[in-house]
Every structure is written in structure tokens, then in C-alpha cells.
Structure 1
């Protein structure tokens, strides 16, 4: 599963440097898809409006659609990065 190239990426965050804004409910802007990639460890991706919860790990990224409210929770030591795309990065 290969995603198209992102137009922007965050720095790599770990469980200590993960910003509070990503741990709280937020959404991507219109026309922007987020692809959350875990480099090490595990991360929980929660969509509070639907109750959907995904467990992300290396090789198991999580896609966030434009305007979709979500937040992440580290599950112990981890490293992650968010890539931003103008088209859906993963096929359904």
C-alpha cells in the first residue's frame, strides 16, 4: 500500500513531544487528508463522532478525511509522523 507523496509532513513526534493539540479533538481542513504513520510502537486513533477506534502501528497507518474530527493517544513509547495530502492517500 503506497500513498502518493504528501505536500507537507509534521516533524517526528514521540510520546513526550506529541503536541497537546493532536491529543485533543481536532480536524483537518477542507481538501486535506491526513495520513498518520507510526514509526515505532503503537498509537490509538479515535474518531469521537462515530466511535471508531483504530490501532496504528508500523505498516498500519491511519487515514483522516477532510474535516473528520479525531485525536490520537500514544500506547507507551512510540514515534509517529503525519503526512498531509490533497488527494486520498489510501484506497478504500
Structure 2
């Protein structure tokens, strides 16, 4: 799994999402801008993080966050009962 470079600093955090409130675009193929990294922080339950171009699937939990690399197409699929947010770095 990728790690956010130490030179990056957090600059924004989303609201807390659930399986019912996650925007549809997050569940479909999308990416973050060039130069921007993100961390998927799970507070409760499980979130499936998919990178289709690499055929990678990770199940994220409160103990195991996910890292989104710049310009990498991905999907975020919260499972029933999950709560999570994204933290952006640049």
C-alpha cells in the first residue's frame, strides 16, 4: 500500500459518510487531482477500496486506513453500518 509522502500536509477533511450518505461519484470510478493525496479514515465498520486499473481491492477498517494516490482511478464502497471520512493532503 502507498504511503503519503512526509512533505505533504493535511488541508481538508470531509464530513462523515455512511453507506447511505456517500455521494454516488465516490462509488464510481474517479480520481483526485494531480499533487493531491487522500486518506480514507474508517471510524466504524468496513469500506471497500478498489483500484480497477491495478485490479486491487482492499477492505479498510478503523485499524487499517486507505491511501489514495494522485490521479489514480478508484472507487470507495462503504459496507452497511460503515462510517468514514476523507482527509486530503498536498
Q: Tell me which interval the TM-score lies in, with the shorter structure as reference length.
A: 0.7 to 0.9
Q: Give the 4+ runs in structure 1 shifted more than 6 A.
A: none
1:33-68 deviation per Cα after TM superposition (whole angstroms, max 9, x unaligned): 010011000010000101011110002100011001
- Structure 1 unpaired stretches of 5+: 87-92
TM-score between the two structures when normalised by the length of structure 1 = 0.86
Whether 1:58 and 2:62 are equivalent positions in the alignment is yes
* C-alpha RMSD of the superposition: 1.4
- Structure 2 unpaired stretches of 5+: 1-5
TM-score between the two structures when normalised by the length of structure 2 = 0.88
Instruction: Give the structure 1 partner of residue 81 of structure 2.
Output: 77
Instruction: Give the structure 2 partner of residue 90 of structure 1.
Output: none
1:6-30 deviation per Cα after TM superposition (whole angstroms, max 9, x unaligned): 1001100011101001101100100
CA distance in 1, matches of 2:68, 2:76: 11
